[in-house]
Amino acid sequence: MAQDLAQTASTPPELPSGGRALTLVSHPLCPYVQRAAIALHEKAVPFTRIDIDLAAKPDWFLKLSPTGKTPMLLVGGVPLFESAAIVEYLDDTEGTVLHPADPLERARHRGWIQFASDTLDGIGALYNAPDAESFAVRVRALRARFERVEADLTGPWFAGEAFSLVDAAFAPVFRYFDVFDRIGDFGILTGLARVAAWRARLADRPSVRAAAPGDYTERLARFLRARRSHMSTLIAG
């Protein structure tokens, strides 16, 4: 079982000078961090997890990360950045392979992982929408994306019986709806039976549960309340 040793570090962590010891530099709300954490837990790889404050990024982090974003995976002290590169590295080097063996199917999965990233962008646009009109436009755009997922979803996981990196990419997407559903029924997922079953199955997956802190829902609700957006007003109401 992976050992997730979450801590907060404003000072440089003690990094190994060699080998392949893994340190995941994280933010509690980052969905892309969750992808990497899911892959690590699926592969039962021991790792240390360090949370940083993205509003006050520590100097040691900025020196190591070209983008200044989480996640960053330190492999024996060598930094890897961007979640897609991190999970691909983990799939190449650790445990059970989560990508399909067939090159065509593997390329198709990479496309769907990007689709999940674009969906996260749409979710960000939704919770930042300044007024009801722009909010409704973004609801419709997200609905169209999930209708496409419904049409292509095989089940019980995205592409059948095997859990894959596509599943790891979409699990953090659905976490947003745990809070959205408390605010109101926006109709984004309504009537999409395969998507609903997949969402529930992902929520029960041990690796998915372990990828976010236990108070994630409360943290996200506070974050959304502070956005000064249309969704903020819905929460306040």
What SS3 string covers the chain? CCCECCEECCCCCCCCCCCCCEEEEECCCCHHHHHHHHHHHHCCCCEEEEECCCCCCCHHHHHHCCCCCCCEEEECCEEEECHHHHHHHHHHHCCCCCCCCCHHHHHHHHHHHHHHHHHHHHHHHHHHCCCHHHHHHHHHHHHHHHHHHHHHCCCCECCECCCCHHHHHHHHHHHHHHHHHHHCCCCCCCCCHHHHHHHHHHHHCHHHHHCCCCCHHHHHHHHHHCCCCHHHHHHHC
Same-domain pairing of 56 and 123 = no
Question: 169 in a domain, yes or no?
Answer: yes
Question: 167 in a domain, yes or no?
Answer: yes
Question: 1 in a domain, yes or no?
Answer: no
Q: What is the pLDDT of residue 20?
A: 79
What is the value of pTM for the model shown? 0.93
Question: 173 in a domain, yes or no?
Answer: yes
pLDDT one-digit tens code per residue, 174-198: 999 999 999 999 999 999 999 999 9
Q: What is the pLDDT of residue 5?
A: 45
Same-domain pairing of 221 and 109 = yes
pLDDT one-digit tens code per residue, 70-87: 999 999 889 999 999 999
Question: 2 in a domain, yes or no?
Answer: no
pLDDT higher than threshold 90 for residue 103: yes
> Domain holding 182: CATH number?
1.20.1050.10
Confidence at 18, pLDDT banded by 50, 70, 90: low
- Of the three residues 93, 121, 153, the one that is the final residue of a domain is 93
> Domain holding 23: CATH number?
3.40.30.10
